[in-house]
Structure 1
Amino acid sequence: MKKTSLIKILCVIALFLGIHRCGSYKTVAPYIVLVKENTSFLNQTLTIGQPLVVEGQRGSQYYGYLYANGEKKEGYISSRNVISYIFDESFEKEITSFPDSYKQPLRFLHALYPEWSYVPLNTSLDFNNTASIFQSKSLIDTDESEMIASPDIIEGQTWCRVSLNASRYFLDPRNGLDAYHALMFEKLTYNPSETLQEGKRMLEGTEMSGIEPQSKKDWAELYRHSAEVNNISMSLLITRAIQEQSGGGLGLRGGHARNNPQGPLFYNIYNIGANTSDQDGIDFAASRNWDTREKAILYGSKYLSDNYITKGQDSLYLQKFDVHNNNPGHHYYMSNIRAPYSEAKNMLKGYISNNMDHVKRILEIPIYNNMPAYNPYPIATDIKYAGTIMKNPDCEYQIADTYKNLTRNVDYITIDHDSYTHIIGLNNYYGSFDIEK
């Protein structure tokens, strides 16, 4: 066999095995790119906003790396799937009031969606105390031991009480400051720019696509009208309905009240009042005579607006974690602790499919007292770009009251500007520092 043929075969085998050194690439000074659409990298799915460090280029392919659970992963990614991260000095004025540990994720979000703006919500609540409150009031549909307080089933066949570490993770706003989840902080009053056609596209492929059989009206028309008259986001209503009724929930099919099993059907599209079961939601609907889906959508929207949106709980996050006042855990919409995360993903999907992601939006992000440096996901399975906070500008990081000197381009990279150097942490560190020259 010719030597050149053998080399080609070895390169193909190496590429199949995930080894990426066979092809040469032009080395460049390391810089950060952000994934602009879900894509694959070394057999892992990278979601929108995931940062990678690029250190080389070969044609339309970038050679770069990221850290997954503390392990460096290197490989190629198409330049079409990423955008370069550019530090925007003018944006710094907008995020001055946020703690340092919030700022780098916000900078990445700003690079992806410069039309979005961010305001802090200072809760004055102690983070750990608040996490304990919601740990006692939240459920999760898993049997993973790290995620649950005990294997006892609280609701249905899979819902258990969350563990304290899981409560800390989902409560921590910094864990939602990526493009895939950040819409959980969007303020959700009525947006007149959301059109009927956009609502129809959001409902495509669901059980609520086309004509609603009772009213003979388009499902999207019902949501659009309800949003307008009740001063609430149409996207929220549609996303909430999809979240609650995917798979044909009882609130969509209709159910009988407990005290009248032979009586009329009632509907609860948003599962309002379904604290422990779908039946609770049906009883709630029966008490308000929601005997058609149109009523459930219209008056359910009014209930959400009157009891949440206009009372300060005007984001997906605040509807789960009622930290807008000093009495958390007493007025939350859902017991599912992951609901804001999954609903935010559905909302982003709807925005992208309708070209609505690049419009002006306001995101209000809570801040707590005594926040830990980092609240990791209890199960080390997800790619994370987070860790302990940068302590000072000569690249020491504080780790559990000790210090570690970091190595450039391994633990952090720098971006030079005329008057300062912008430092960004890598390898399970987060935060950044600007050093004046």
Structure 2
Amino acid sequence: FWMSETTWYQISYNKAWKNATKNEVKYYLNPNNFVSDPVRSLQFLKLTSTANLNATEVNQKILAGKGILAGKASAFLTAAKQNGINEIYLIAHALLETGNGTSQLANGVKYNGKTVYNMYGTGANDGNAVQNGARYAYQHGWTTPEAAIIGGAKFISSNYLGAGQDTLYKMRWNPDVAATYGYASHQYATDIGWAYKQVDEIYNLYNLLDNYNITLEVPSYQ
């Protein structure tokens, strides 16, 4: 609605997806447009390189007040080490999927008589997300929050990261396959700005800490 003085007018606004133009695709595909930006450059963060975080600092500065995830830094660091995943990416993923540690799946769901936990929304497909996510957790023995944090990281690692798409940029664009075969394949999203949009939370989490490593891998096109 839009108001002029005391009169209200109803305005119809239809929002819809549209196909990207060639120039729009070229903009998001070109690393040179983002590599100098401290936030947007994080789409080139090597997700398989450790951030070398300190558990105490993570608990105090990131996970404090985050529901079931509070105090679980050691589990995230173990999960990252065992599965070769950047800890900040893993924590950001869990915070997003659990609503900062408050979701039903994160806090335990009874399935076949056992309480199970799911911290990354793994297997929680649309339709009946809670039951589907609980079933997946039950099948994989995630009967403690720590088991869910560590076990779920294995699933994340074995998909895109394990396939060599170990940056947000590569998850979106998969340049290695395009260079090899001459066509796009195994891309995580259709939104051309997907990788660009994912980095704010990662940047915010890094920005809370004093001790960390950042490794970027920026592709170069001929």
2:38 aligned partner, one-letter code? A
Instruction: Name the one with the larger helix percent.
Output: 2
Change in CA separation of 1:267 and 1:308 when aligned onto 2, cut-off 3 Å: same
Output the CA distance in 1 between the equivalents of 2:88 and 2:63: 10
Output the CA distance in 2 between the equivalents of 1:329 and 1:245: 30
Aligned to 2:155: 303
Instruction: Name the one with the larger strand percent.
Output: 1
Output the CA distance in 1 between the equivalents of 2:152 and 2:161: 12
Given that 2:115 and 2:143 are in contact with CA atoms closer than 8 Å, whether structure 1 keeps it comes out as yes
Aligned to 1:188: 47
Q: CA RMSD in A?
A: 3.6
Aligned to 1:64: none
Given that 1:170 and 1:338 are in contact with CA atoms closer than 8 Å, whether structure 2 keeps it comes out as no
Kindly report which structure 2 residues correspond to 1:259-278, keeping only aligned pairs within 5 A, or say none: 263-276=113-126, 278=129
Identity of aligned residues (%): 25
Given that 1:222 and 1:297 are in contact with CA atoms closer than 8 Å, whether structure 2 keeps it comes out as yes
Kindly report which structure 2 residues correspond to 1:133-148, keeping only aligned pairs within 5 A, or say none: 145=15, 148=16
Change in CA separation of 1:252 and 1:321 when aligned onto 2, cut-off 3 Å: farther
Q: TM-score, normalised by structure 2?
A: 0.69
SS in 2 for 1:253: coil
Q: Deviations over 1:355-413 (max 9, x none)?
A: 357x552233475x9xxxxxxxxxxxxxxxxxxxxxxxxxxxxxxxxxxxxxxxxxxxx
Aligned to 1:222: 75
SS in 2 for 1:272: coil
Given that 1:209 and 1:219 are in contact with CA atoms closer than 8 Å, whether structure 2 keeps it comes out as yes
Paired residues, what number? 198
Identify unmatched segments of 5+ residues in structure 2: 1-12
Given that 2:43 and 2:169 are in contact with CA atoms closer than 8 Å, whether structure 1 keeps it comes out as yes
Identify unmatched segments of 5+ residues in structure 1: 1-142, 150-162, 211-217, 370-437
SS in 1 for 2:218: strand
Given that 2:75 and 2:146 are in contact with CA atoms closer than 8 Å, whether structure 1 keeps it comes out as yes
Aligned to 1:352: 207
Aligned to 1:314: 166
Given that 2:160 and 2:171 are in contact with CA atoms closer than 8 Å, whether structure 1 keeps it comes out as yes
Output the CA distance in 1 between the equivalents of 2:103 and 2:192: 19
1:219 aligned partner, one-letter code? K
Query: Which has the higher mean CA deviation after the structures are superposed, 310-319 or 175-184?
Result: 175-184
Change in CA separation of 1:170 and 1:281 when aligned onto 2, cut-off 3 Å: farther
> Which entry has the higher C-alpha Rg, 1 or 2?
1
Output the CA distance in 2 between the equivalents of 1:169 and 1:264: 50
Q: TM-score, normalised by structure 1?
A: 0.38
Output the CA distance in 1 between the equivalents of 2:65 and 2:214: 27
Higher-RCO chain (CA-CA 8 Å, sequence separation at least 6): 2
